[in-house]
Structure 1
């Protein structure tokens, strides 16, 4: 494929997302491992692009590998407990120094505007400060954590004021107390609390893994907090999975619409997740990204777009907008991020316990996810609830699919009289029947 036109096609399809993200607030976590591996430059370029497209950005960053390296140089081995190190004065001195160095590096790279660089012509104001208030972990299980702390609150009003001035806000893994102390914080915890306090539209966690996977190794595209709970319970307390998944579930439970788990190792992950329909990682959300539901009048445009190619090929009988409007209560749809990718209809006939399964269609790009089976199962459930004892279908192209799902061949005489009289003999559709 011509790469130029491939890019143009992608750009056209990304336009709805460019418009949808404008003016939204995203909290992004970049772990210290990404910076240590040299991925900071490209991530900053992607963040600058998002800023240019009108996204309000709050960037939390981690420093664990950098602090570990600094401690190793001094021959210091930190005591660890429950996934956190015990930040005594010697360790805290390293934490403060590394956090300041990392913040300065980020600010410097966000200021880069030389010709022939991706940030040329972009003016970004990066701001940090005492925006996260903290409290000490104290003594737990007999261990005094000294200056290891946890988030008490995020100064949301201050951050919003900075975002309104078009600044990019940086949040180091540090927090401040009302007594004037500085505490070491977990970067994922900072990001999660910031997202909740700001009622952010997205929390994006960039870590080692490219998302969550099932037992077969397949990427899990979307989970609710309840569905993610078993994975969280089985994760090691000091693992990145536990920190990120815990932050994602907490954010979802406290009103953040979508949390994305992505890998910083994938140079395309951030933009690919935000500007393509299917994304590239795992999303944790309370709201279903893809849902099967009853159709509404507002879905008619999407239905027409889905059905038109199948009607053109003779696989479905053409349906006008007026007919769809009249029968809309008979239709189920699968909606994926605002797009109708599947549908089916259940038509009733007065005086008959035989219902018609009609207009079963799934978008070509989404035919590998058992969506046809989901539609059939839901139609069967609704039919049973409405007192029907059998379903019939008429098809010219997909008889084998129906046979594989429990239908048997039937005769025209077995159809309800109204449907039998309206049968189009020129199409020679096969009649298939299934008892419920």
Structure 2
């Protein structure tokens, strides 16, 4: 029997609560490469989606089937043909794609029918619905290459998909489409997923793929991953990349991510299926495990507003309980919220500090400097300090000071100097708690 340790589980569970609230009732389009199934990852992946479903997230699952089609073609002794990064779907390849799609549908439905006790699938009862949600058109002839039964998405039946997810079902979409005359076309999973996310105006499009994400150095696929790309930066990167041929090429998934982001999908993620639980970690942790493309950077350093009161209170309460911060009256925080600076990421407050000016002494107190334990050691505290210094200079102050009992060395490293409590402005000195014996540290502003 595994043990649950409250001192680690409870803080972790509280840390994901803001994401649970933010994602409830939202639509996620999750696209999986056929390699995920071929690698035997489908059972645990289905469990992760079951958790998302239980949290009230509306799910649309788009599957690929490249390796499954290759397997069918090999059995028939038929050679694959590709051009322009797409499969040339002749009649034999079309038959193989249809067989692979049937196999994938069976395996996915079976995975979501699990109900084993002591697993995330217990009591889940997820209904999987699929259908002819895609109207397609032929690729046609490009540079003299006839793509035959290879197609592109013409239209997504968004209304039909919405009705199904509102009913509580998981909608499964295969990369197949049909023309108005009933002709079948083999589509790419990436195109179908982007088109579905755009048609549904999904909050998230998540590609679960054979790549780790978008590398910081496209010339070195083994370099570290860029965890967040603004759409403008993604466009620039894409413009300087060669046309993709293989799914492992940097531009292969990026081109579809940019398209979806340009057409209103709030967040597009590229995550590796090789990391167990990658969809959960990408959705419920600050930095995730792959690359996220957004229209603008999700992290902002800004002045607080009344809407941030709840987030600030939730952030500072644990530090008040352990004595790092002096407990503040809640009405005081509401009254002074305009004096606070906050760091927000994806709608969640991860850091804050307040600046209380004493104009008569040309100084100000920085108080309640707090950074969430989930993102400490990433420089957020220093960024908040610099913003507070800027606010102090703009207000005509010549210095800022802090009172601390536990973090003196952090401030000393950043240019503060210790002074006697008698240095404090008279108005602040009258409120000084001599029993607490806080150290007073001052930094002059150049």
1:158-169 equivalences under 5 Å are 158-169=160-171
**Which residue among 64, 69, 93 is the counterpart of 1:62?**
64
1:322-341 equivalences under 5 Å are 322-341=331-350
Question: TM-score, structure 1 length as denominator?
Answer: 0.85
Aligned partner of 1:44 in structure 2 is 46
Aligned partner of 2:245 in structure 1 is 238
**Which residue among 208, 211, 231 is the counterpart of 1:225?**
231
Q: What SS does structure 1 have at the residue aligned with 2:206?
A: strand
Q: What SS does structure 2 have at the residue aligned with 1:157?
A: helix
Distance 1:121 1:369, change over 3 A: closer
Aligned partner of 2:175 in structure 1 is 173
CA distance in structure 2 between the partners assigned to 1:369 and 1:217 by the alignment: 20
**Which residue among 283, 300, 305 is the counterpart of 1:291?**
300
**Which residue among 77, 80, 83 is the counterpart of 2:82?**
80
Question: TM-score, structure 2 length as denominator?
Answer: 0.83
Q: What SS does structure 1 have at the residue aligned with 2:292?
A: strand
**Which residue among 205, 208, 211 is the counterpart of 2:207?**
205
CA distance in structure 2 between the partners assigned to 1:89 and 1:13 by the alignment: 52
1:178-189 equivalences under 5 Å are 178-189=180-191
Distance 1:371 1:243, change over 3 A: same
Q: Is the CA contact 1:61–1:173 (under 8 Å) kept in the aligned structure 2?
A: yes
Aligned partner of 1:435 in structure 2 is 445
Q: Is the CA contact 2:416–2:441 (under 8 Å) kept in the aligned structure 1?
A: no
More displaced stretch, 283-292 vs 79-88: 283-292
Structure 1 residue 434: deviation in Å?
Answer: 2.4
Aligned residues: 436
Q: Is the CA contact 2:408–2:439 (under 8 Å) kept in the aligned structure 1?
A: no
More displaced stretch, 263-272 vs 212-221: 212-221
More displaced stretch, 21-30 vs 225-234: 225-234
Aligned partner of 2:407 in structure 1 is 398
1:272-311 equivalences under 5 Å are 272-276=281-285, 279-286=288-295, 288-311=297-320
CA distance in structure 2 between the partners assigned to 1:270 and 1:16 by the alignment: 17
Distance 1:143 1:313, change over 3 A: same
Q: Is the CA contact 2:399–2:443 (under 8 Å) kept in the aligned structure 1?
A: yes
Structure 1 residue 375: deviation in Å?
Answer: 0.4
* 1:36-78 Cα distance to aligned partner (Å, 9 max, x none): 1111222233334443444322111101111122233444333
1:358-373 equivalences under 5 Å are 358-373=367-382
The reply on whether 1:264 has 2:270 as its aligned counterpart is no
Distance 1:283 1:381, change over 3 A: same
Q: What SS does structure 1 have at the residue aligned with 2:162?
A: helix
Structure 2 residue ranges without an equivalent (≥5): none
1:314-325 equivalences under 5 Å are 315-325=324-334
1:103-142 equivalences under 5 Å are 103-112=105-114, 119=121, 122-142=124-144
Structure 1 residue 317: deviation in Å?
Answer: 4.3
Aligned partner of 1:4 in structure 2 is 4
CA distance in structure 2 between the partners assigned to 1:123 and 1:413 by the alignment: 67
More displaced stretch, 244-253 vs 405-414: 405-414
Aligned partner of 2:91 in structure 1 is 89
Aligned partner of 1:345 in structure 2 is 354
Q: Is the CA contact 2:418–2:441 (under 8 Å) kept in the aligned structure 1?
A: yes
More displaced stretch, 221-230 vs 5-14: 5-14
Q: Is the CA contact 1:344–1:361 (under 8 Å) kept in the aligned structure 2?
A: yes
CA distance in structure 2 between the partners assigned to 1:424 and 1:45 by the alignment: 53
CA distance in structure 2 between the partners assigned to 1:197 and 1:64 by the alignment: 24
Aligned partner of 1:192 in structure 2 is 194
CA RMSD of aligned residues (A): 3.4
Q: Is the CA contact 1:412–1:431 (under 8 Å) kept in the aligned structure 2?
A: no
Distance 1:160 1:423, change over 3 A: closer
Q: Is the CA contact 2:365–2:400 (under 8 Å) kept in the aligned structure 1?
A: yes
